[in-house]
C-alpha cells in the first residue's frame, strides 16, 4: 500500500465495495461496543456518586454543604497537580522523542557511510 495515490484508493474502493463495506461495518461495531461500555461505566459512576452524596446527607445534613465545598476544593487542587505532572511528563516525552529522531537519523547516516566504505573496499 506504500505509494498509493488518491486515484488508486478511489479505484480500489470502487472495485472492492463489499470489502470496504465489511470493514466499515466492523469498525462501526467496534466503536459501538466501546462507547456502550463507556456509557455504562459513566452511569455506574454517577449512580455511586449520588449514593455517596445521599449517605453523607442523611448522616449529617447540617455539615453537608461544607463537606461538598471541601471535596470540590480538594478535587480542584489534585486535578491541577495531575495536570501539571502530565504537562511535565509530556514535555519529557517530547524531548526524548526528538532525541530519538536525531539519533535514528545519525544511525542511518552512519549505516550508509559504513555500507559505502564496505563497497569501496
Distances (CA, A) of 68 to 59, 82, 108: 14, 21, 58
CA separation for the pair 23, 33 (Å, rounded) = 16
Percent of the chain with pLDDT strictly greater than 90: 17
Q: Are 54 and 68 in contact (CB under 8 A)?
A: no
Number of Cβ atoms within 10 Å of the Cβ of 20: 13
Q: Mean pLDDT across the stretch 28-46?
A: 91
CA 80 to chain CA mean position, Å: 19
Taken in order 69, 72, 78, 79, the sign of the CA dihedral is negative
Kindly report each contact of residues 21-30 with a partner whose C-beta sits within 8 Å and lies 24 or more positions away, as own/partner.
none
CA separation for the pair 114, 110 (Å, rounded) = 6
pLDDT level of residue 52 (50, 70, 90 thresholds): confident
Q: Mean pLDDT across the stretch 16-32?
A: 89
- The pLDDT value given to residue 116: 66
Directed axis angle between helix 64-120 and helix 17-59, to 10°? 150
Q: pTM to 2 decimals? A: 0.38
Amino acid at each position: 500500500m506504500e505509494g498509493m495515490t488518491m486515484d488508486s484508493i478511489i479505484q480500489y474502493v470502487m472495485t472492492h465495495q463489499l470489502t470496504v463495506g465489511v470493514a466499515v461495518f466492523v469498525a462501526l461495531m467496534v466503536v459501538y461496543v466501546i462507547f456502550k461500555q463507556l456509557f455504562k461505566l459513566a452511569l455506574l459512576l454517577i449512580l455511586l456518586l449520588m449514593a455517596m452524596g445521599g449517605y453523607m446527607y442523611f448522616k449529617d445534613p447540617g455539615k453537608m454543604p461544607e463537606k461538598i465545598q471541601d471535596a470540590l476544593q480538594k478535587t480542584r487542587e489534585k486535578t491541577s497537580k495531575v495536570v501539571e505532572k502530565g504537562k511535565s511528563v509530556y514535555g519529557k516525552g517530547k524531548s526524548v522523542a526528538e532525541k530519538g529522531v536525531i539519533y535514528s537519523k545519525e544511525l542511518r547516516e552512519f549505516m550508509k557511510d559504513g555500507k559505502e566504505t564496505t563497497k569501496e573496499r
